[in-house]
Amino acid sequence: MNQPKTLEELKIWFRENGYEPAKTRFFVGVDFRAPKAFGIYRNELGEFVVYKNKADGTRVIRYQGYDEEFAVHELYQRFQEEIINQQTRWMASQTVTETPKIDVGPKHVFAFILIAFGSFIVSRWFFLWLRDSKGIDLGLIVYLGPTVVMALALFLYKSYLYGQSFLESFFSIHPKYRMMIIVGLFAMIMCSLVVSPGNRNGYYSINNDLYYRAGNNWYQYNTNGRTWSHAYNIPRELTSGDWEDYNDTTSYGGRYSLFETTSYYRDWRSSYNSDSNRSDSDDRDYGGWSSDDWDSGSTDWDSDW
């Protein structure tokens, strides 16, 4: 089966691939309320809701709207990411690759310096361009991102020198330093989220005004013209820590035209078409891993998604 596009197709995909909800904590067609769960269901308004219940029981809404295919895509892609997490964890428990020794000459040192400066400068320019030219709120990513890109570029070059894959090179690092890297990346992500809250895609209603968040862009509904347009003056509440309280349409008075029928929405969604053509992560060779090795305890239940 190709990538599922409906709730029913998603249910069939999970069942055919042997992924049990009780084990994976992914629930399709169920408004599951217990902690530590991902899920998708259709509410009484006909909206498709994609959610995550964190370890403390709080719920984060990833998407809420009428586009079934997009809602299914969001949960499906998150599950693919979790498969990679599960396979990587399992692989790490099996073996640690010993790093071969090579001679690092002057040309390698020069390449390291060139890659470090080049990756930092280019990524810094790119993040500033996204912020200043495209109006995308990146928070601290503008400042922390180039450092992460530089470290990744150097690590990839090191993997190339030793003739290793990325995972082999990563697991050859001493566990103590691996943990430091993971904690450092997690800290950067959390710092970025503090400055730029991770609002989710969908409808937001505040003071009888209706908005829609699509990626990093906001759109506002014009009641008189019954049209949608780019919104540049976003209410403070929608960018604060209370943004989730407004992720609904029930408090909006009057009927409205669905944002999903606009060209804005079609343009935004077009970027996801290429994802459907990618091969599933469970097709990768992880040397004997199967769904029976799934350990939901290793899932990051404290993050928003």
The domain ranges of the chain are 7-93+197-298, 102-195
Whole-angstrom Cα distance, residue 293 to residue 290?
Answer: 6
Q: What sign does the CA torsion over 121, 125, 127, 128 have?
A: positive
Instruction: Indicate the range of 84-88, 103-107, 135-139, 187-191 predicted with least confidence.
Output: 135-139
Whole-angstrom Cα distance, residue 95 to residue 101?
Answer: 19
Half-sphere exposure of 67 (CA within 13 A, CB side): 20
Q: Higher model confidence: residue 175 or residue 99?
A: 175
Whole-angstrom Cα distance, residue 303 to residue 164?
Answer: 31
**C-alpha triplet 240, 269, 276: angle, nearest 5°:** 120
Q: Tell which residue, 25, 35, 33, has the closest CA to residue 56.
A: 35
DSSP strands (E only) in 55-197:
59-65
User: 62 phi and psi, to 5 degrees?
Assistant: -85, -45
pLDDT digits (tens, 9 = 90+) for 232-269: 888 888 876 666 678 878 778 778 888 988 988 888 77
pLDDT digits (tens, 9 = 90+) for 142-161: 777 888 899 889 888 888 88
Please give the helix or strand (H or E) that residue 212 lies within, else none: strand 209-214
Supply the pTM of this predicted model.
Answer: 0.50
